[in-house]
Amino acid sequence: DTAVSQTPKYLVTQMGNDKSIKCEQNLGHDTMYWYKQDSKKFLKIMFSYNNKELIINETVPNRFSPKSPDKAHLNLHINSLELGDSAVYFCASSPKYNSPLHFGNGTRLTVT
């Protein structure tokens, strides 16, 4: 009965590869997010999405793209992976904007 689930938990891959991280929430929330937590532990917003609007952090490279097949899913696709993409990626959801976030348990991405 996990509320927000991400897969995989660990992802090790080589530079230049393309990978995806999946996120699903069973809370019936309208809004989902992707955050990146770097080695300095700073959580930075990457994308915010509800079923009508995608808000992109303009500092995110366009190699990163969110894909939402339905309201309960927000997957993250990353093309041409770089060493600097190594981080922990957290998916989160909330009932609406202004509400607390519920986080998945994170995906630790290592690019070699």
Partner 1 sequence: RKEVEQDPGPFNVPEGATVAFNCTYSNSASQSFFWYRQDCRKEPKLLMSVYSSGNEDGRFTAQLNRASQYISLLIRDSKLSDSATYLCVVVSGGSYIPTFGRGTSLIVHP
Residues forming contacts to partner 1 in the complex (CB under 8 A) are 33, 35, 40-45, 48, 55, 57, 90, 94, 97-106
CB of 80 to partner 1, least distance (A): 26
Name residues whose C-beta falls within 8 Å of residue 49's C-beta, 6 or more positions apart in sequence.
31, 32, 33, 55, 66, 68, 74
CB of 29 to partner 1, least distance (A): 13
Element (H, E) at 25: strand 19-25
Closest CB to partner 1 among 57 and 65? Answer: 57
Closest CB to partner 1 among 16 and 97? Answer: 97
Element (H, E) at 30: none
